[in-house]
Structure formats: structure tokens, C-alpha cells
Amino acid sequence: MSDNAPQPVIILTRPQMGENIGAAARAMLNFGLTEMRLVDPRDGWPNPRAVAMASGAAAQVLDRARVFPTLAEAMEGVTYALATTARGRELTKPVFTPATATTQAREEIAAGGRVAFIFGPERAGLENDDIARANAILTVPVNPEFPSLNLGQAVLLLGYEWAQGRLPAQPMPTGRRPAGEVAADRIEIEKLADHYEAKLDEAGYFFPPEKAPPMKLNLRNLWSRMALTRADVQVLHGLLRQLTRR
């Protein structure tokens, strides 16, 4: 997930609950984002409730978070900022979705800029004074009759879009999967096919003799087409042993 380009900055403006700050930190680290800035958090900082909610993200995100008294000061070093809001369309600004916003962010960063995504307080979101300080608006396409998102959810959506192309190819790397969920290799499939062929041969399945070779070939081809895990292979071995037990 790491690359040499600077990360976007996640700015939480006047967050009200430590739990939501922690949830945002957790969502950030899920997608490799670690730079959080806090603007005037209601309950002060540091906040033990944020740490508890952040779980393993506390050390990499919360411990490094910087606190600022105003949004203007929190945008130190930022050259392009997007305000996350369902409101503020009366202000003349470009409006992006998470997908188009992250594309814009990558272009800004590639050009040498520094990007920030600004999130507002949980109860009412960003005020127009906050939005006015951003270059553009980021709006999540949701049910227009209920556009409110939890702070952690909003950061999660943005983080997911940012991580596209940086995410692992598999949902969970093979080395971290339970052994039974790992795909069976070709030797394991070959031994399974041998086991079934031998038992079916004993049972007289391959009859008449002149049809035995194509029957065996078709059966072997059937096994090779299946997407079997190691656990699947063990189950199929066990079923056959039980069925042929005398």
C-alpha cells in the first residue's frame, strides 16, 4: 500500500466525540492513510475514547495527529483542499464524488501539490465558512432524503476510493488465510483424482474395459476444473474412505 507520493491529509473539523475520531483513524489505516489533523476537538485532546475505538490504529494515526485551533491553520502546507459535505452548493465550486475527488487528488499530488480532505462535525457538518476555504466540494451520492453519514463511514468511503490500485489483489493474502481456505495445489488434486480412480476401478465403474481410458480422462478433467481448497480435498478424501469402508 505504500508509495513515494505524499498522502492526502485528513482534517477533522470540530469533531464532537472521541469515539468518532477513533473510528475515523481506524478507517484511515485500513487504507494506508496516516496523517490526521484535528481542528478544535470538542472534548479536548488526547482523548482516551478515541484511542479505545481506534484499536491498532492509535499508534500510527492518533499518536501522530496534530491539533489546530482553526481550519485555516490546519491547512498549513496544503495546496488543494476538498470539503466533504452534502451542503454548500450555493457556493460556486467544483463538486466531486469520492471517485472523481481521489482522481483529482492524485493529479494534484503528481503535480507536486499537497491535498487535504476536510470533514465536518458530526451533528451539522461543515459550515459555509469552512467550505469557503476549500477548492472544491466532495459529496457522496446517497439517498437525498437521508444524506447524513457517520464520520467514520465518510472517512472509510474516501479511504477506499483513495486506495484503489493500491489494495491487495486478494481480499486476504494467502499467508494470512486459515490453512483450509488456501487453494489446493496440483499435486493435491492429482492425489485426489488417483484416490477416486482407484476406488471406482475396484467398484467396476470403468466398464466396459474399452471405454475405461476416456472415462478416466473425463473424470480427471472434472477434478482439474474445480476450484478446490485444501479443506475441500480433505473432505472429499474422507467421504470416499467412509463410503468404501468394509
DSSP secondary structure letters along 184-207: P-HHHHHHHHHHHHHHHHHTT-S-
> What's this model's pTM, rounded to 2 decimal places?
0.70
User: What span, in angstroms and rounded, lies between the C-alpha atoms of 223 and 135?
Assistant: 58
Place of cell 472521541: 18
Residue burial 13-42, b: 16+ Cβ < 10 Å; e: rest = bbbbbbbbbbbbbbbbbebbbbbbbbbbbe
pLDDT on residue 62:
94
pLDDT on residue 175:
56
Residue 89 belongs to what H/E stretch? none
pLDDT on residue 3:
56
User: What span, in angstroms and rounded, lies between the C-alpha atoms of 182 and 173?
Assistant: 10
Per-residue pLDDT of the chain (246 residues; tens, 9 = 90+): 445 668 899 999 999 999 999 999 999 999 999 999 999 999 999 999 999 999 889 999 999 999 999 999 999 999 999 999 886 557 788 999 999 999 999 999 999 999 999 999 988 889 999 999 999 999 988 888 887 788 999 999 999 999 887 766 666 555 566 666 788 888 999 999 999 999 999 999 999 999 999 999 999 999 989 888 888 999 999 999 999 886
